[in-house]
Structure 1
Amino acid sequence: MLFGRSLIQRRLVSHITSPIFYPNAKPHLGHLYSSLICDVFHRWKLLQGEESLFTTGTDEHGLKIQLASEKNGFQNPKHFADKLYSDFIILDKSFNINFTRFIRTTDADHIKNVEKLWKLCHERGFIYQGEHKGWYSVSDETFYPESKIIEDPVNARKYLNTETNNEVIYHSENNYFFKLSHFNDILIDYIQSNPKFIYPEVRRVQVLNELRNNRLQDLSISRPSFRLKWGIDVPGDPSQKMYVWFDALCNYLTSIGGIDAVVNNEPYNKLLHTIKEIQSPRDWWNNTTHVIGKDIIRFHTIYWPSFLMAAGLPLPKQVVVHSHWICNGTKMSKSLGNVVDPLLMKKYYGSDPMRWFLLENTQLEEDGDFQEDKLFLLTEMFASKWGNLVSRCCSPKFNLQRAVQFFSNKKNALLVNSETLQNEADNLVKKLGDLPSLVDKKMNDFQTASALRHVWSTINDANAFMQNAEPWTKEPIEQDAIIFLCMETSRILSILCQPIIPDLAAKLLDRIDVGKEKRTADFLRIRADTTYGVGSNMKGRKVPIKRVTRRI
């Protein structure tokens, strides 16, 4: 049984992380999508009674932030970051992103941990000083090898890197290097031996091919302070600032207590005061999943594991890589005017329809295509399919409370006076019985689109059963059997979909008077709740889902 086990039996924990985002501009749809994947996974674990942490935040050091703050008239980049990081909080709160900690890389505990990570790598012989010559991208804040440099086909005398298509410039400087080359074959062996470490498989193959075909070179991990003013000082050498990715990636450890806590297994209560049973930071780290966009795969699957191994630290459990979003078949661009503003979409269509739409219309391996017409049609489906099913069964013509009380104690077949209808009812009962385990597998594999297709299929079956059974023409017992099964469908699906649509699911459960304490995974089966439906058929009750108007 997947659901309803006690924490004492399971003692399972999970820690899921979104990337930390650059606050050099307002957040966009991609930021929301990364955070939403994490939020749903986190909520799913909590629904099952597991202990879960979800950490997110902002990456506030580096040349991009320095230049953006100067451009916007800020003398102190920290003041610029203080102004913009709140936009990411607003986005998260607007879409019910239920993070455990929002970390900023300017947080004091984070800076301490980055310094600790540097010292560990240095003490173990993986950091040295030298001169670096190469092609540097200001936008990406990284150097690229000659093999990835091409001339800009549009602008003469300019060059691009083939990985992100951002401009690069050639220069040399003295700085610190990390012995990344040492880990080339070690990484290949680890990724081959741990096939789920990079997911999905297409991304795992991509990284392995990169390691086999372009052997790693040592990595410059500092910048001169005269050029990069906004960053963490290299320990013992304030003339150099740490490479922004060495800084940023360490946030995942800081968020669960820091390096010392993970290594020494020290208790860390700052984040875990709401957790039923305090788990050690080491437990959290061993069950950490990073969710990232495909554009930062190299940093998380090559650099980050290498930094950790160099420091003698364990690796996270998994790196899940998702694709990006386009709009109406075209890459989003300010010049094209097709950049999707998630807050504007929320204003017109609501946060839960946006959450559902993003999770239903993309797969990890492929870019999602945002089409506002489809989002509008989704709101129509919520109203006409799910909302209408609840409204019809909660009509004053019927008595849901009576149906629940009578059929909750009937362990045998439903009493429907038709072989065809009984077959429909039996199929619906079986589907409801199989659905929790099926959705659980899909959620754990980050296959949300597939999971939601199964939910829609069940809603459609319940509507078809309601329409074919015509309860308004039946005697009370048969009428109650039909109403009971249709509302059991909505009750179970509403509980199941709380991680996807938290507000809407709550409204659906409120409409049929399901108690707050009976909205857990323990109640994801038929007849699990024998007390709901009181007053559900009274006149004047609000419709749980309202139609919205098309924006354009």
Structure 2
Amino acid sequence: MTRRFYVTTPIYYVNGAPHIGHAYTSIAADVMARFHRLAGDEVFFLTGTDEHGQKVEQAAQTNGTDAKSFADKVSADFRNMADAMNISYDDFIRTTEPRHITSTQALWKKVADNGAIYLGAYEGWYALRDECFYGEDELVPGPDGKKVAPTGAPVEWVKEPSYFFNLSEYQDRLLELYENTPDFLGPHGARNEIVSFVKQGLRDLSISRTSFKWGIPVPGDDKHVMYVWFDALANYLSALGYPDTNAPRMAFWPANLHLVGKDIARFHAVYWPAFLMAAGIELPRKVFANGWWTIEGQKMSKSLGNVVDPRDLVKEFGLDAVRFFLLREVPFGGDSDLSRKALIMRNNVELANDLGNLAQRTLSLVARNCGGILPERGALTEEDTHLLGQVMVLPDLLKSQIERCALTDALEDVWKVIRACNAYIDHQAPWALRKTDPERMKDVLRVLVDALRGIATMLQPFMPQSMERMLDQLAVTAEERSFTALETPLPGGRQFPAPQGIFPRYVEPEQA
């Protein structure tokens, strides 16, 4: 039976341009989607943009335009970024689309009909930058001594009529969820933080505003627009066709994985499951929060001028080198630093030397000594069997790592095999066997080709373009590139194309 897999990125907020942090989460989700497709699963991969709220309205005014025109422009930029990073999304949702507005209002009505929403008046501290309300006890002293949000965002005292969601009634059910389903929220640090937050006690949540108009009107009371997070979180259902339970995409619910930045873990692991509980809708299987990126050791900041557009990195270093670095450098889920020196080192040592050089040596020897024709698989020595055994367990190894969102560990598992291949070719020395034992030379080259095929197949989700070129050079057909296809060896006698380098070494341009 075909398994379904539904993975989402957060929908990115359009009050500013896309940066490396957005690309990071999208690439991680893309790896998950591609991996599951290659494993034979039916996949739905959603990304998009969150376009309502006071911050967007103000950003539009600052830019001298209306909110919709501003959202259109920035949303198009995010879609361009996703395409430039080779993100294989199945749908790009926008919260200004009619389908989303219809769906979100249906979700609100369902929650209200179940008695979880009431009208009151809100009075409290609001951080516009976070689009979040904070309790007095959550505020911390700012640099000038004034109280600010725990994120450092300035807060203002807000008083206005508001609809409330009775979040306080879901505290026990949420704690039960975290305890009974330990895999619901990761990684460990984010999980502990959320559990601690909920244990401190939950207040009912203000979920509408009357002080601005750029939002989805509350059903039956258009003086109010929905709190941007109620609106935004509903995208995971609206893209599936909710509330039409017969819509074909609804078969993908519940989502298998919501990938988010750690700054929005609270919204996805507290508010979202509570909204769904109130609506009587099944909960997503997992929320995983990735870390933040610093740039050369400094926090990204417009004032420092160090906000990195991932498309600029791609122009300089190549797409797959950037994708590889972002997921290789630091264990996924932790904070990471974007260092130019580290990026060049990863490219030159692991891509150009370890993998690129291995492929070039092997394919050049096949071209030179076998007429570019794949040798038949011969009798295997103990060393051959040991190396091929390491390759054959890669699908199961990586499946386990992907399920844990351990993308960095998955890459390390592949690199262990690449290092083993390099040790094998050096030890077997097929260039010397050509004179002393040409039949053994062919057997060694065949083992190396089979190992490279396995490596390239498993690396497709991480570096799709480069691995497509490598599999082309290994004469692997499109039908032979899935994980299950690895169980069937390639038939000998295939003609290989002339070998070409895949990962060039990066050399810093000389300063003028």
Is the 2:293–2:299 Cα contact (8 Å) retained in structure 1? yes
> d(CA) in 1 for partners of 2:36 and 2:394?
16
Is the 1:105–1:248 Cα contact (8 Å) retained in structure 2? yes
Q: How far apart are residue 287 of structure 1 and its match?
A: 4.2
- Could you tell me which of 172, 175, 181 is aligned with 1:185? 172
Is the 2:320–2:466 Cα contact (8 Å) retained in structure 1? yes
> d(CA) in 2 for partners of 1:41 and 1:230?
34
Instruction: Letter of the 2:312 partner, please give it.
Output: L
> In the alignment, what sits opposite 2:202?
216
Is the 1:492–1:523 Cα contact (8 Å) retained in structure 2? no
Summarize deviations over 1:389-441 as a string: whole Å, max 9, x none: 2222222422276553x21xx4x524xxxxxxx53x33312211222211111
Instruction: Letter of the 1:138 partner, please give it.
Output: L
Counterpart of 1:53 in 2: which secondary structure?
Answer: strand
> In the alignment, what sits opposite 1:369?
337
- Could you tell me which of 221, 225, 231 is aligned with 2:215? 231
> d(CA) in 2 for partners of 1:301 and 1:393?
49
> d(CA) in 1 for partners of 2:417 and 2:88?
28
Q: How far apart are residue 531 of structure 1 and its match?
A: 5.1
Counterpart of 1:260 in 2: which secondary structure?
Answer: coil
Q: How far apart are residue 73 of structure 1 and its match?
A: 0.4
Q: How far apart are residue 379 of structure 1 and its match?
A: 2.0
- Could you tell me which of 179, 190, 212 is aligned with 1:203? 190
> d(CA) in 1 for partners of 2:273 and 2:167?
10
Is the 1:355–1:501 Cα contact (8 Å) retained in structure 2? yes
Moved more, 436-445 or 243-252: 436-445
> d(CA) in 2 for partners of 1:124 and 1:546?
60
Instruction: Letter of the 1:473 partner, please give it.
Output: A
After TM superposition, the score normalised by the length of structure 1 is 0.88
Is the 1:62–1:244 Cα contact (8 Å) retained in structure 2? yes
Instruction: Letter of the 1:392 partner, please give it.
Output: R
Is the 2:332–2:407 Cα contact (8 Å) retained in structure 1? no
Summarize deviations over 1:36-94 as a string: whole Å, max 9, x none: 111100000000111011101000000010000000000x2111111111111111111
Counterpart of 1:121 in 2: which secondary structure?
Answer: helix
Q: How far apart are residue 347 of structure 1 and its match?
A: 0.5
Counterpart of 1:334 in 2: which secondary structure?
Answer: coil
> In the alignment, what sits opposite 2:380?
413
> In the alignment, what sits opposite 1:546?
504
Is the 2:392–2:454 Cα contact (8 Å) retained in structure 1? no
> d(CA) in 2 for partners of 1:47 and 1:430?
20
How large is the Cα RMSD of the aligned pairs?
Answer: 1.8
> In the alignment, what sits opposite 1:29?
20
> In the alignment, what sits opposite 2:496?
535
Q: How far apart are residue 370 of structure 1 and its match?
A: 1.3
Instruction: Letter of the 2:51 partner, please give it.
Output: E
CA gap of 1:532–1:134, structure 2 versus 1, over 3 A, is farther
Say whether 1:296 aligns with 2:264: yes
CA gap of 1:383–1:532, structure 2 versus 1, over 3 A, is farther
Is the 1:352–1:504 Cα contact (8 Å) retained in structure 2? yes
Is the 1:400–1:480 Cα contact (8 Å) retained in structure 2? no
CA gap of 1:472–1:363, structure 2 versus 1, over 3 A, is closer
Say whether 1:168 aligns with 2:155: yes
> d(CA) in 1 for partners of 2:133 and 2:475?
59
CA gap of 1:390–1:400, structure 2 versus 1, over 3 A, is farther
> d(CA) in 1 for partners of 2:59 and 2:451?
52
Is the 1:13–1:287 Cα contact (8 Å) retained in structure 2? no
> d(CA) in 1 for partners of 2:458 and 2:86?
17
Summarize deviations over 1:514-535 as a string: whole Å, max 9, x none: 212211112224x622157413
After TM superposition, the score normalised by the length of structure 2 is 0.94
Say whether 1:48 aligns with 2:34: no
Number of equivalent positions = 504
Moved more, 245-254 or 430-439: 430-439
List gaps (5 residues or longer) in structure 2. Answer: none
> In the alignment, what sits opposite 1:349?
317
> d(CA) in 2 for partners of 1:379 and 1:103?
34
> Map of 1:463-502 to 2, 5 A cutoff?
463-474=422-433, 475-502=437-464
> d(CA) in 1 for partners of 2:344 and 2:389?
32
Moved more, 16-25 or 469-478: 469-478
Moved more, 334-343 or 234-243: 334-343
List gaps (5 residues or longer) in structure 1. Answer: 1-9, 269-279, 415-421
Counterpart of 1:136 in 2: which secondary structure?
Answer: strand
Counterpart of 1:241 in 2: which secondary structure?
Answer: strand
> Map of 1:100-111 to 2, 5 A cutoff?
100-111=90-101
